[in-house]
Structure 1
């Protein structure tokens, strides 16, 4: 059965590029989002996020009539759910996943489902979420059959296919990367592969839904553990008066060693979040994963304290200057280089902490943002920041920060190795 119309629920950093890729293959795509601004922006042929080449693809798709955005789901042959999966604000030591957005998206599409449709959960989710989604669908549509009860002969097929793309390279990686396809049944997997092969050139590897869910969580938890080693190493080196950047450069000369680069923490809606999905399900077993998450979270607080100590040192060296006259510039607010994504960003957390603590001005420099909706961020360009800042805190290694000419009397605190030469 062919897929003439495809609906993508959630038009964010993953949903919109995915919708655009299907539309670029001359498929009719209906994008659904709860944000009116997002819907209006896309229907003008524009985009509301920063992602190289995506603007041209979306503009062409909308102009040619293959992509439109709406607030309410419409009938389609395949539905891809790409909505956020945050945590509940319950202040537990181990955060509890919040599937509210998935549940709302599921119940929103249920009225327009018909026999022969395919529903795919792309949202990164705890193990079992795809089965839960299927239960919600079955409860909402008792007139249709679903694979968890009737298997291969179900009216509606359901699968999980996690996104595996790097911000800043999404358009290319959506096409080239392998995809893990986990259907509730074999037929569900086969139909999902048929759908993704519309534009995916990488291999579509079939497994079951639970393993597909766990695959994405495993990939990002592995990265989190590796980054935690680098972050912990940087704290150790700071205490022992060793240049961690030189140390890592020397250690990586070993043919079987590849230590990652430390930073002020770990951000984004993947590596900073996904390990908790594993820990929340198996808290007694996920000891290393849990510890790594705590190491990376504590690195942000450590970085904040380093800046506070630098302010104190600066005042001792410059006794004529008052605290309220000192300016701090934070270079980079995104969670990683060369993107505009602020989700779970340790750089942004550090900026807010310094802004709330410091009596003087705290500038934020994020070259990938033209403006900020948050009035608490004093956004300036790099030239202004360097001109007026007494202390410069490097939080993100954006390429636009290369070759900055810092002033001789400035105190530079570099958490990402921008000023090193190893």
Structure 2
């Protein structure tokens, strides 16, 4: 493979994974072209700015753009390595939708040449990398596809991201990577590429094993979060503080219970387990149940919050947070957003949203009558508070500023706060 400053890389998809990946690769000296369907995203990046919130990403993008190592476009160009990092949502029946992946493969097929490497990073159902290979083979019969006969003119591999929002730039480099090739040679070519910027261990396998590894990681997390969420429901019935119970139980040397919340969000954990269920519904009752428990926890929070609000007519309500986890601006599959939306549709202008990582509300919330305020305004004006995200700014509110509030804390960030049990009536704030 070429030296860093001679290597041309195309990253298809400039979202929460694609843009940081493109920037990290560009930092090695490679010439990186980012492809996105949105002209506004392209223009933002080419001006050296970012359209997503991630620690240190703005400075990195500004630097690699100014040095000419990263640029963006809506049109594909020839390259040595193509990295596909587009969304893989599920459809109404919760079956996976790989249309964006296949469209990306179709687009790059027009410029594919002998010696190139195509890497899929999007979380995908088992067998997707083979479908990408088959599609490329059908669109470019002039090139020998890997695994379909003797020899191959290009390589196809799968290497899923496994990063935590808020730490993406660090974990893209430091975390181990699982690299699955259509053939062992494909895996080796992809390994050579990732070794340019990954300090963690790079382990090679076949594409199907790598695809299932990613789904397994997220299903494991989902099942363990479901246990914590189910435990929180039992503790509520028993009148016990679930966070105290978990803290004490975790003192056992072989127990590590996760923290409950209002559900599970994000594009990975809330989505990927369904890929396994769709592939083998007869043998995934535990994975399905975990998904249902976590989605059901969101419904439970909505019901508890609505009961508290109905018991206090006319009182303004502060919903703290919309993101799917703390200190990021990512609202994908967010249970907090789902709770806020349900309450806004029911209680309209009484709902005030505090989200420090949003400049404006999503259209659906605004049209329902909700308004965006800051945390100081919420403390001053809202006797009812529903904690949906554990942003640091919310954790910093001292007890003396919320002692007279009626609080539903779904994240356990205020252990000193009397929790909302049975609804009680409050006086309207002046």
After superposition, the C-alpha distances for 1:210-268 in whole angstroms (9 at most, x for unaligned) are 00000010011000000000000000111111110111111111111111100000000
The CA deviation string for residues 69-109 of structure 1, in whole angstroms up to 9 with x for no partner, is 000110000000000001123xx3xx110111111111111
Return the TM-score normalized by structure 1: 0.94
Distance in 2, Cα, partners of 1:373 & 1:311: 22
Cα 1:359–1:342, aligned 2, differ >3 Å: closer, same or farther? Answer: closer
SS in 2 for 1:193: helix
- Alignment partner of 1:219 out of 213, 217, 220: 217
Question: 1:28 aligned to 2:31?
Answer: yes
Structure 2 residue 413 is the aligned partner of structure 1 residue 418: yes
Distance in 1 separating the partners of 2:54 and 2:70: 18
1:71 is aligned to: 74
Which residue of the partner structure matches residue 251 of structure 1?
249
1:339 corresponds, among 325, 328, 332, to: 328
Q: Which residue of 1 aligns with 2:341?
A: 352
2:63 is aligned, of 60, 63, 68, to 60
The Cα shift of 1:65 comes to 0.4
SS at match of 1:65: coil
Q: Distance in 2 between matches of 1:102 and 1:124?
A: 10
| Alpha-carbon distance in 1 for matches of 2:266, 2:233 | 22
How many angstroms apart in 2 are the aligned matches of 1:300 and 1:240? 20
Query: Cα distance 1:373–1:359, how it changes in 2: closer, same or farther (>3 A)?
Result: closer
**In 2: Cα distance, 1:370 partner to 1:355 partner:** 18
Moved over 6 A (4+): none
Match of 1:364 among 350, 353, 362: 353
Aligned: 1:100 with 2:99: yes
TM-aligned CA deviation for residue 175 of structure 1: 0.5
TM-aligned CA distance change 1:388 to 1:421, over 3 Å: closer
1:331–1:365 Cα contact (<8 Å) kept: yes
Measured after TM superposition, the shift of residue 286 of structure 1 is 0.8
Mapped to 2, the partners of 1:305 and 1:372 lie a distance apart of: 23
**Number of paired residues?**
408
- Between the aligned partners of 1:129 and 1:417, the Cα distance in structure 2 is 40
Decide whether the 8 Å contact of 1:334 with 1:396 is kept in 2: yes
Matched ranges for 1:48-197 at <5 A: 48-89=51-92, 92=93, 95-150=94-149, 153-197=151-195
Q: Which whole-Å CA distance do the structure 2 matches of 1:373 and 1:264 have between them?
A: 19
Q: Residue in 1 aligned with 2:276?
A: 278
Structure 1 residue 404 and structure 2 residue 404: aligned? no
Partner of 1:318: none
Tell me how far apart the structure 2 counterparts of residues 142 and 402 of structure 1 sit (CA, whole Å). 58
Conservation of the 8 A alpha-carbon contact between 1:329 and 1:392: yes
Deviation (angstroms), 1:360: 4.3
| Alignment of 1:387 onto 2:380 | yes
Note the C-alpha offset of 1:409: 3.5
* Separation in 2, partners of 1:359, 1:185: 56
Tell me what 1:319 maps to. none
The CA deviation at 1:378 is 2.1
Given that 1:128 and 1:210 are in contact with CA atoms closer than 8 Å, whether structure 2 keeps it comes out as yes
* Runs (5+) with no aligned partner, structure 2: 418-430
1:312, 1:353 → 2: CA distance? 14
TM-score (norm 2): 0.93
Listed one character per residue, the Cα deviations across residues 350-387 of structure 1 (whole Å, up to 9, x for unaligned) are 00000001154211111122334524452211111222
Q: Which range is displaced more, 18-27 or 365-374?
A: 365-374
Deviation at 1:408, TM superposition (A): 3.9
Q: Distance in 1 between matches of 2:89 and 2:375?
A: 33
Instruction: Note closer, same or farther for the CA distance 1:217–1:228 as it changes in structure 2 (3 Å cut).
Output: same
Contact 2:349 2:371 in 1 (8 A): no
CA distance in 1, matches of 2:201, 2:322: 35
Extract unaligned runs of 5+ from structure 1.
316-322
| Partners of 2:38 and 2:362 in 1: CA distance | 15
Q: Secondary structure at the match of 2:281?
A: coil
Deviations 1:120-144 (A, max 9, x none): 0000000000001111111111111
Q: Which residue of 2 aligns with 1:38?
A: 41
